[in-house]
């Protein structure tokens, strides 16, 4: 039957997809509000709010929230991203009304008890400390901070110890009042679900949810680029090299996704073969492309020992520049097959499918059929990908490195090397 979509009188979007042969349902509420919707003094609040979701409502204690869902063998959780926050559950189909009731209770009646808040603030301070002590986490935090300097989109989702400790229950309530409303939410279920029954249940629980939130359009993102290095006494170095990417809505978004697969999406990718297999310069290397509503970022992450840093970056840059000169048809076909397989495999997981439908509704206002995505992939050509490569990798780079990075070439030398594809190794010699 595909995805069925209904809209309640208050503007809340409700969508379902029935997946044959399943006896369970993945369902949740996705809110178009994340870390970049925070004000300056609210850094980390969206993430703290996600943590506090299960700490008690007017009807349920924290223990009752957990025990009620687990008494029927279900699971419940939440997640915060740059642009969205989600609250989701997985239950057997007979227990969908209970899951909807608990999710609605959390969204509408959370107490944010001061004692619970103080405990959870302490937990998040530990989380911040753990992230700082994990080089392959902190290098990505520094990467987005450098790429989007002094902007909410570039800030760590966790916040800082100072901001997290400063938050009060009143501030959390105010954030929800300002950000959460039916027009900015979607409720999605995938699995053994009947659309009309689900819509009636959501209407009963959330039909009275406020229709509109205070207008708070996030600051328009401006890619800046730049250089960040932190010399640490570690066995290996974490390096991320990135460039301005493409937003979800623009023509080159899917081409950028496929290009990241060709360059570093698996063991047959260019970077893995050249950097790891042929030269042994690192133990991990991959490419990625992250899309946002108004921008994106394309990057390469590598982890290597101190002795190979000086040789690693020139090889990576050479591979990026070669992509602007030639991409083979077999590489494009392989990447398309990977993308297609990923879509099909994720559709076989109700949780992944519900999340995918929710993201599409929030971004595009409608679910995107698999066939439409396949058509977009089929329209890609090697000429278009080489043209995209030459444009992507001519933007100002973002370089972040954590670890024993003293032999890494100066940022100005890397800038210079990107302007001359044939002499990278010589230009970056240290």
Task: Report the catalytic residues.
Answer: 50
- Tell me if 286 sits within 8 A of 265, measured CB to CB: yes
Q: Please name the residue that has the structure tokens 């987005």.
A: 144
Among residues 220, 210, 138, the alpha carbon closest in space to that of 179 is found at: 210
- Tell me if 169 sits within 8 A of 112, measured CB to CB: yes
Computed on alpha carbons and rounded to an integer, the radius of gyration of the chain in Å comes to: 23
Among residues 270, 286, 290, 281, the alpha carbon closest in space to that of 313 is found at: 281
- Tell me if 335 sits within 8 A of 265, measured CB to CB: yes
* Cα angle for residues 152, 398, 335 (degrees, 5° grid): 100
Cα–Cα distance between 76 and 300 in angstroms, integer? 34
Cα–Cα distance between 41 and 47 in angstroms, integer? 14
DSSP string, 6-29: EE-TTS-EEEEEE-TT--EEEEEE
Q: Please name the residue that has the structure tokens 């808040």.
A: 117
Q: Where are the alpha helices (DSSP H) in 299-410?
A: 309-323, 329-347, 350-364, 370-378, 382-392
For residue 271, report the phi and psi dihedrals to the nearest 5 degrees: -65, -45
């Amino acid at each position: 039957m595909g995805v069925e979509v209904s809209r309640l009188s208050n503007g809340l979007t409700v969508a379902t997809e029935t997946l044959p042969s399943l006896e369970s349902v993945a369902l949740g509420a996705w809110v178009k509000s994340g870390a970049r919707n925070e004000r300056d003094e609210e850094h980390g609040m969206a993430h703290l709010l996600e943590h506090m979701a299960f700490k008690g409502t007017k009807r349920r204690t924290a223990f009752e929230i957990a025990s009620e869902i687990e008494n029927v063998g279900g699971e419940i959780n939440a997640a915060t991203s740059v642009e969205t926050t989600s609250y989701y559950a997985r239950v057997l189909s007979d227990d969908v009304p209970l899951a909807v009731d608990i999710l609605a209770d959390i969204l509408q009646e959370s107490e944010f008890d001061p004692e619970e808040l103080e405990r959870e603030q302490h937990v998040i301070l530990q989380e911040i400390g753990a992230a700082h002590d994990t080089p392959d986490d902190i290098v990505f935090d520094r990467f987005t901070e450098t790429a989007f300097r002094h902007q909410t989109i570039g800030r760590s989702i966790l916040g800082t110890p100072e901001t997290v400790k400063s938050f009060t229950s009143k501030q959390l309530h105010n954030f929800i009042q300002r950000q959460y409303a039916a027009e900015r939410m979607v409720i999605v279920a995938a699995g053994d679900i009947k659309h009309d029954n689900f819509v009636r249940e959501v209407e009963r629980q959330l039909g009275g949810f406020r229709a509109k939130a205070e207008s708070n359009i996030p600051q328009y993102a401006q890619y800046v680029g730049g250089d960040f290095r932190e010399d640490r006494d570690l066995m290996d170095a974490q390096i991320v090299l990135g460039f301005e990417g493409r937003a979800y809505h623009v023509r080159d978004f899917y081409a950028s996704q496929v290009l990241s697969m060709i360059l570093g999406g698996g063991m047959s990718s260019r970077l893995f073969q050249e950097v790891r297999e042929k030269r042994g310069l690192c133990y991990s290397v991959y490419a990625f492309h992250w899309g946002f509503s108004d921008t994106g970022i394309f990057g390469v992450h590598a982890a290597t020992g101190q002795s190979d840093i000086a040789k690693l970056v020139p090889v990576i840059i050479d591979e990026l520049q070669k992509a602007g000169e030639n991409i083979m048809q077999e590489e494009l076909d392989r990447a398309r097959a990977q993308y297609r397989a990923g879509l099909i495999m994720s559709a076989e997981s109700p949780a992944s499918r519900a999340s995918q439908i929710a993201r599409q509704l929030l971004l595009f206002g409608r679910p995107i059929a698999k066939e439409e995505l396949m058509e977009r992939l089929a329209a890609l050509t090697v000429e278009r990908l080489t043209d995209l490569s030459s444009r992507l990798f001519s933007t100002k780079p973002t370089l972040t490195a954590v670890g024993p990075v003293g032999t890494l070439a100066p940022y100005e030398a890397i800038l210079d090397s990107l302007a001359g594809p044939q002499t990278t190794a010589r230009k970056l010699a240290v």
